Amino acid sequence: MAAENRLWGAERIRGELLKLGISVAKRTVQRYMRGARSPTPSNGQSWKTFLANHSVWACDFLQVYDIWFRPLFAFFVIDIKSREVIHVGVTRAPTEQWTAQQLRNITPFGEGPDVIIRDNDNKFGTEFDRVAKGAGMKVVRTAVRTPLMNATCERYLGSVRRECLDHIIVLGRRHLAHVLGIYSRDYFDRARQHQGIGQRVPVAVATEKFIAGATIRSVPVLGGLHHDYRVAA
């Protein structure tokens, strides 16, 4: 009971035991509670429980260089619970106004998740926070030198580099937007399994069930850099 119900105190657990016909002293419950509970945040709520009760987006920037060594910046937003990449935008000049407009584009009716996580980069600024709050989001800034606060984004950054950008020469802004769009939409969201969600894909795609003798078809992604395997209808 102590492990499953973080918000319950010793007296609350004692009362639940009495309901089951088990009578123990409060001090006995307190003694066993210490070993049953692992350290947890002060609000008594694990991250898994928080995600089950809230929708949370996280966002960050990825800096890339094109074939002429000119910098490009990709801004992306990802749903932490499902791992779906909600949005990817590319620009050469990521101003506060541009970044805020990206968030405005994906919340057209003024509706967003409960929480959005961002770092302290000056590319965000007060305009971004104003748009987020207008869409009903609480803005959470990561603390200094704590990359794990935005671990889902950091993992996505690593995946994009290792699985995509390390193998492609970027020709310009439109090319980068095209490549990241295909990687995120066709592969990362709809084909790639993720350990954090039990080897499932973020966006479920209807497929035929495999039966003996069925044909498996290979769908190339990004010119064959990756493949998506499905049972042929």
pLDDT on residue 42: 52
The two structure tokens encoding residue 2: 């102590």
Same domain membership, residue 75 and residue 19: no
Same domain membership, residue 66 and residue 26: no
Same domain membership, residue 139 and residue 171: yes
pLDDT on residue 163: 93
Could you tell me the CATH number of the domain that includes residue 69?
A: 3.30.420.10
Phi, psi of 154 (to 5 degrees): -60, -40
pLDDT on residue 50: 73
Same domain membership, residue 180 and residue 149: yes
Q: What is the DSSP letter of 215?
A: P
Q: Summarize the confidence of residues 167-194 as an average pLDDT.
A: 94
With H, G, I as helix, E, B as strand and everything else as coil, classify residue 148: helix
- pLDDT for 195-221, tens place per residue? 888 888 899 877 667 777 788 888 899
Same domain membership, residue 70 and residue 169: yes
pLDDT on residue 135: 93
For 84-110, give the DSSP string: -EEEEEEESS--HHHHHHHHHHT-TTS
d(Cα 4, Cα 141) in Å, to the nearest integer?
29
Same domain membership, residue 35 and residue 134: no
Same domain membership, residue 16 and residue 58: no
CB burial of 119-146 (b: ≥16 within 10 Å; e: otherwise) equals beeebbeebbbebbeebebeeeebeeee
Q: Give the pLDDT band of residue 44 (cuts 50, 70, 90).
A: low
pLDDT on residue 193: 87
Has residue 165 been placed in a domain?
yes
Same domain membership, residue 167 and residue 80: yes
Domain count, the chain: 2
pLDDT on residue 85: 96
- Domain residues for the domain of 113 are 50-197
Helices (H) and strands (E) in the chain — how many of each?
7, 7
